[in-house]
Amino acid sequence: MGIHDISLYDVLARNALIYENRPAWYEAEEDRLLTYGQLKAEVDRWAARLQAAGLIQGGRVGLIGKNSLAYFLVCGAAAALGAMVVPINWRLSAAEAAFNLNDVDPFLVLAESDDPAWLNDIQAQLSAGIGCYNLLAEDGLLQNLPSPDDASLDAAAAARVRTDDGAVIIHTAAVAGRPRGAVLSHGNMIWANLHLMQGLGVGPETVYLNVLPLFHVGGLCVTWMALHLGALVVNVRKFDAPQALALIARHKASLMFEFAPMLDALLAEQERTGLDISSMTKVAGLDAPQTIERYQQLTGGTYYSLYGQTETAMVVSLGSYNACPGAAGRPLPLTRIAIVDDDDRPVADGGTGEIVIQGPMVFKGYWGLAGETEMVFRNGWHHTGDLGRLDEQGYLWYGGRKPEKELIKPGGENVYPAEVENVILQHPAVDAVVVFGVPDPKWKEGIMAVCRLKSGQALMAEALIAFVGERIARYKRPHYVEFVSELALKSDGQVDREAVKKQYA
């Protein structure tokens, strides 16, 4: 470790020193509270176990499970050793989860699941030599990770970790059928912490309710930010509106990040119970205007709109919804945002083009994909694949995905049409399909599939939806299916996606 280096583990160690007895983590399912001193001690014990098992600097640790204290402790332990965690979305199919793990060749996998068959299926598809161990001690599905006699961390190992070393690999959605592992460094996440703190105006008195999954860049990065602050993290296994409401009232939670329909469900539960959630003064995410306005009227709090990606350690622009409704805020202090055309030339003021980004939170690149990394980093900018514009006040307005990187976001998850189309085309009755996003009252954006069947074939929408759900993550299933006799074609005979979208959206 050099004179200019700092790691995520150093953040925990610093807070254990100055906030030793301050509450750090409340585990809702266990009704267990840890101070900052206790949190670091638990991280050290996990680091010692992983170190004794043979994990070394640069090694990868697969993580499968719902939100838990153990999940975060592994993240902290890996940070101490200079290893990288690879969070796996537990909503993926077994084949998808195994692909992401095999992609990074992890030293071991720590897992827990409510579905033994799913977990066994993943294990069966892992490359030879990858050990799979219990994440939670009470989970009897897997063997336990050995515990060393001396459960103390070798401090020399932690001292070798550098700011630029990889901390986490999060797989993005499959643009062309293959997920890409985005490598975020310690520095990426620390700088992201700092400018998000400033943008939100939060401090150690903050109580953060973590309802986002820790496998998601939002859940993981904001949890690290809260712990960097010296705040209290109130952690739930997964979002449940009655539980979340009760925790807000009990712990006076003041900060939450969400994706539709979480906030709507929370407000409906509050109307039913009358519990006081006036402490929740800051909520950030993506939601419908009517839901945002209901929250602000009820609490007097502020809703923050935002823009970001996994590749930018979550947020790069943020702003009060009231300041400019519909916009995605202004660039945060450590971010430079520009709008360019297809030739990477700056567009005229106020014009729409691709959003490109510079700043210390921009990721290190895609794991094992040098060519794709070089392409996305061309001309010294991170090319997001998103369209947008900057107005004269500096507010960023999101304008959707570029056609070649079309993306659907149901409930905050990323779904690429090409991935869903590839699965639908495996059905023997389907001849051609176009998948795209449509407005949805519950999920904010729903998945629409317009299908042309083969001659003489018949198919029910429910059967096709089930077919997709058996092969990829269930959240990627179409919400709406339309069967048509013809699809609009281009002059070359290929399906005209834009014409189909315009006709059926």
Query: Mind listing the pLDDT tens digit for each residue in 15-64?
Result: 999 999 999 999 999 999 999 999 999 999 999 999 989 999 999 999 99
261 upstream amide cis, omega within 30 of 0: yes
Boundaries of CATH 2.30.38.10 in the chain? 302-405
- What residues does CATH 3.30.300.30 cover in the chain? 410-504
> Which tens digit of pLDDT belongs to each residue from 293-306?
999 999 999 999 99
- The span from the CA of 196 to the CA of 202, in Å, is 9
Distance between CA atoms of 64 and 62, rounded to whole angstroms?
7
Element (DSSP H or E) covering residue 381: none
pLDDT in tens, 458-470: 999 999 999 999 9
pLDDT in tens, 356-371: 999 999 999 999 999 9
Confidence at residue 442, expressed as pLDDT on a 0 to 100 scale: 82
Q: CB of 458 within 8 A of CB of 77? A: no
**Is the Cβ–Cβ distance between 394 and 330 less than 8 Å?**
yes
Q: What is the 3-state secondary structure (H, E, C) of 13-50?
A: HHHHHHCCCCEEEEEHHHCEEEEHHHHHHHHHHHHHHH
Residue 31 corresponds to which amino acid? D
CATH 3.40.50.12780 placement within the chain: 8-238
Question: What 3-state DSSP class applies to 140?
Answer: coil
CB 326 within 8 A of CB 415: no
Q: What angle do CA 115, 121, 126 make, to 5 degrees?
A: 130
- CATH architecture of the domain 410-504 equals 2-Layer Sandwich (3.30)
Q: Are 484 and 451 in contact (CB under 8 A)?
A: yes
At 180-199, the pLDDT tens digits run 999 999 999 999 999 999 99
Residue where the block lists tokens 């947020």:
315
CATH code reported for the domain at 8-238: 3.40.50.12780
Q: Which of 194-203, 246-255, 261-270, 438-447 is predicted least confidently? A: 438-447
Helix (H) or strand (E) holding 355: strand 353-358
Distances (CA, A) of 303 to 81, 283, 298, 329, 335: 37, 5, 12, 11, 21
Q: Name the band, by pLDDT with cuts 50, 70 and 90, for residue 159.
A: low
pLDDT tens digits along 411-450: 878 888 888 998 999 999 999 999 999 988 888 889 999 9
CATH homologous superfamily, domain 302-405? Luciferase; Domain 3 (2.30.38.10)
pLDDT digits (tens, 9 = 90+) for 275-294: 999 999 999 998 999 999 99
Nearest to 172 by CA among 103, 107, 94: 103
**What is the sign, positive or negative, of the torsion defined by CA atoms of 211, 213, 214, 216?**
negative
Residue 212, pLDDT score: 96
Kind of pairing, strands 382-390 and 353-358?
antiparallel
Query: Is 139's pLDDT higher than 80?
Result: no
Return the H-helix or E-strand segment holding 108: strand 108-111
